[in-house]
């Protein structure tokens, strides 16, 4: 009897020991899949293992009981399932593992209006007109119009003299388009050094900066008609042979240094229409005598720079 009691006690102790070992092993196995506790902000992680192989489990029904976002941000932490971390209140983070075949809600379709071509768009009657493109012509019948020029808004600017004549004519028009500007440095170059006189026709309203600069053989410049004209800065500078200039009676301005170092220039009639004469317009003109109206801009310039003058 005592022997039987001892055997039963030993069996009972063995069962307790085996149960204890099994419990510890199970705890260790389950704890290995739980995420490690983070430091800093307290958080709680709920882990739900994949159960897609269990036919009794309804994922849709289970997901509807959770207060989760309907637009989860999936990741690939587990190749057999997608994991979504959904932030919630009280610094609690819920990590939910979805089955690999779970269908997430699709984004709403956005209707994009068709693109209307420029030709189909209505044109406002008050819209500003488009400026025409500029066209540069290198040579057009050089024997008649030996210039490179630019057409802009139906008018022509002479850019460069390319002829050989010593007495070039500034044409009133080219191909029916008026010549209104003698451009910057137009005659300032090798070709320009050969000219001796130039006639400027009525359509020209502006002589550009340095247009005739360094034309050392130029002796005479004549504006043929009474047209409103602006003479740019240094337009005739260093024309050391220039001795006669007939300005238009409607000249409106003479730029700075316009006739600088025109050492042969004598009498120069400046009309009262000139309202602006730039600094040093006649610097180095040792022979000049200005003919002008009393109290005109030309009169004031003569007094300012101590240039000899005659009132008319």
3-state secondary structure of 20: helix
Decide if 260 contacts 286 (C-beta within 8 A): no
Distance CA 276, CA 270 (A): 11
Measured from the Cβ of residue 171, the count of other Cβ atoms closer than 10 Å reads: 17
Q: Is pLDDT of 198 > 80?
A: yes
**In which band, very low, low, confident or very high, does the pLDDT at 274 lie, cut at 50, 70 and 90?**
very high
| Residue with tokens 């000899």, as numbered in its chain | 308
Residue with the larger pLDDT of the pair 139 and 293: 293
Q: Mind listing the pLDDT tens digit for each residue in 177-190?
A: 999 999 999 999 88
**How much is the mean pLDDT over the chain?**
75
**What would the mean pLDDT of 158-162 be, rounded to a whole number?**
95
CA neighbor of 271 nearest in space, from 287, 254, 248 = 248
Q: Give the per-residue pLDDT at 78.
A: 44
Region of poorest pLDDT, from 20-24, 52-56, 259-263, 287-291: 52-56
Distance CA 24, CA 5 (A): 29
Decide if 83 contacts 98 (C-beta within 8 A): yes
Distance CA 147, CA 186 (A): 9
Residue with the larger pLDDT of the pair 278 and 130: 278
Q: Give the per-residue pLDDT at 311.
A: 96
Region of poorest pLDDT, from 18-27, 115-124, 235-244, 249-258: 115-124
Q: Give the per-residue pLDDT at 216.
A: 95
Q: Helix and strand tally (H, E) in the chain?
A: 3, 19
Please state which of the four CATH numbers 3.40.50.970, 3.30.70.20, 3.80.10.10, 3.30.1600.10 is assigned to the domain occupying 135-311.
Answer: 3.80.10.10
DSSP string, 29-68: HHHTTSPPPPSSS----------TT-TT--HHHHHHTS--
Q: What percent of the chain has pLDDT over 70?
A: 54
Alpha carbon 259 to chain centroid, angstroms: 39
**In which band, very low, low, confident or very high, does the pLDDT at 225 lie, cut at 50, 70 and 90?**
confident
Residue with the larger pLDDT of the pair 263 and 22: 263
**What would the mean pLDDT of 60-88 be, rounded to a whole number?**
50
**In which band, very low, low, confident or very high, does the pLDDT at 140 lie, cut at 50, 70 and 90?**
low
- ∠ CA 301-304-306, nearest 5°, is 100
Q: Is pLDDT of 58 > 80?
A: no
Q: Is pLDDT of 13 > 50?
A: yes
Instruction: Sketch the domain layout of the chain as residue ranges.
Output: 40-102, 135-311
């Amino acid at each position: 009897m005592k022997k039987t009691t001892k055997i039963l006690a030993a069996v009972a102790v063995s069962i307790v020991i085996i149960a204890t070992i099994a419990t510890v092993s199970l705890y260790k196995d389950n704890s290995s899949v739980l995420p490690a506790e983070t430091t800093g902000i307290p958080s709680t992680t709920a882990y739900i293992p994949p159960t897609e192989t269990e036919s009794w489990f309804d994922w849709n029904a289970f997901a509807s009981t959770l207060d989760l976002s309907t637009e989860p941000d999936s990741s690939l932490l587990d190749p057999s399932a997608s994991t979504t971390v959904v932030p919630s209140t009280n610094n609690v983070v819920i990590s939910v593992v979805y089955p690999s075949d779970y269908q997430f809600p699709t984004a709403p379709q956005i209707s994009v209006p068709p693109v209307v071509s420029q030709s189909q768009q209505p044109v406002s009657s008050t819209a500003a007109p488009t400026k025409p493109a500029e066209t540069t012509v290198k040579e057009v019948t050089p024997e008649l119009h030996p210039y490179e020029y630019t057409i802009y808004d139906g008018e022509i600017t002479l850019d460069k003299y390319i002829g050989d004549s010593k007495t070039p004519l500034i044409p009133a028009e080219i191909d029916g388009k008026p010549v209104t500007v003698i451009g910057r440095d137009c005659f300032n170059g090798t070709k320009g050094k050969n000219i001796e006189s130039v006639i400027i026709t009525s359509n020209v309203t502006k002589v550009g900066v340095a247009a005739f600069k360094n034309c050392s053989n130029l002796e005479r410049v004549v504006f043929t008609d009474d047209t409103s004209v602006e003479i740019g800065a240094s337009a005739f500078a260093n024309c050391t042979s220039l001795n006669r200039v007939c300005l238009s009676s409607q000249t409106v301005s003479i730029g700075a240094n316009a006739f600088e170092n025109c050492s042969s220039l004598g009498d120069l009639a400046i009309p009262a229409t000139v309202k602006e004469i730039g600094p040093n317009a006649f610097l180095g003109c040792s022979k000049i005598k200005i003919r002008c109206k009393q109290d005109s801009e030309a009169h004031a310039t003569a007094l300012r720079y101590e240039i000899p003058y005659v009132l008319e």
